[in-house]
Amino acid sequence: MKNDFIWGAATSAYQIEGGKFADGKRSSIWDEFCKKKNAIVNNQNGNKSCEFYYHYKEDIRLLASLNIKNFRFSVSWPRVMPLGPGFINQRGLDFYDRLTDYCLENKVDPWVTLYHWDLPQELEDRGGWTNRDIVSWFSEYAAIIVNRLGDRVKHWMVLNEPVVFTGAGYFLGVHAPGKKGVDNYLPALHHAALTQAAGIKTIRSACADAHIGTTFSCSHITPLNPHNIEDILAAQKTDALINRLFIEPLLGYGYPTSTLPFLNKLEPYIKSNDIENLVAIPDFIGIQNYTREVVSHSKFTPYLNAKIIDAKTRNVDRTIMNWEIYPESIYEMIKQFNRYKEVKEIYITENGAAFNDRKIDGQINDEKRVNYLKSYIEQVLRAKNEGLKVDGYFVWSLLDNFEWSEGYTPRFGIVHVDFETQHRTVKKSGKWYSNYIKEFQERNSSIVI
């Protein structure tokens, strides 16, 4: 059969769009969270960012010029339904119509994520992900988007990294909306798991030929001492929390309570038929991997009895996010998710790195990022060549952008953005990625019997 491996680039609405209150958009939880003193590095925010809302045509043309024919972007819920159920902001919806049409006009295939963390503040005021009604709120929102774009958009992703937005936003409080504690975390976790299944069913009902998935953050977990039983158990618990928590209920396995007994505390939030309603087999899953984590036993950490030994402490090669550069991690995660027989297709929907990019004489010679991407992509193709399911790769990110609580310091883009002038400059990594895609397609363009 002809090679059909997908190459793309990924973004998200709050991180690139700007246009904070343009055309009827209202506040998201990230707009409000950024107002909190010291919540974001240098008290920055996403009010303007890359101004993709105004520069999308330039960016799509740039994408196409780089041989990148698949573009992952997200819809901003507060741009389309800023007041929640029963109200549609047509001007916001029109933007995604224009964006979709312009992608197709430039022969770029849109891959749309419905939720990439920017919940309308109006819904957070009603409890956000801790409110069980969010399952129906999201289903209504999803149906509106799919009914509007489904005649042109074929690839859909429901949630982006639910383990992150529930854990960081509703347990640790380091991401929006800044809530803390197990009493916020447990209902948010369960409602997000219900929502990912409901979202798949909603899209399938609205668009019979849709290609539907959802995305999971993941890290290869290894024990600090592979011969120490306590470290091994700590690694197993961490793996269950980071890598298994949301995919297993979706596929019909239920929550991994045998490894994480504290999940039995979910019982008060589980209503009649919930266990069945957690299940919806997707057409594909997106996995998002950047690094591995090394874990040791810790009697002082509640629930897990585990702690992550950070990359700096271990004195290993790392990015400015203090994430270890460990290319085999992505291979190991592809292998791990292949073990689920229900998984039909796997795409790497995010992978990339932040380094201290310097613009010299108008050029960004980001050799470290080139080496990072090259080494990780080699591991992806290693998995593919071994016969494992892996069907595509999306680099994170097309553009330098607002990197959540880290603000604008970490630059992940293969395209540099001057946030003052909005000038775009393709980095060496962008040129390398473009050439790599072209060469890959030329090598694999023949039909294989």
Q: Are 13 and 73 in contact (CB under 8 A)?
A: yes
Sole residue written with tokens 């047509």: 90
Annotation marks residue 406 as catalytic: no
**Helix/strand/coil percent split, the chain, to 5:** 45, 20, 40
Annotation marks residue 17 as catalytic: no
State the distance between the two ends of the chain, measured CA to CA, in whole angstroms.
6
Catalytic residue (choose from 17, 122, 324, 350): 350
b (16+ CB within 10 A) / e for 186-196: bbbbbbbbbbb
The contacts of residue 202 (CB under 8 Å, 6+ apart) are 139, 142, 143, 146
Catalytic residue (choose from 17, 51, 124, 161): 161
CB-based burial label for 230 (10 Å; 0-12, 13-18, 19+) = middle
Angle at the Cα of 33 (from 30 to 34), degrees rounded to 5? 85
Active site residues: 161, 350
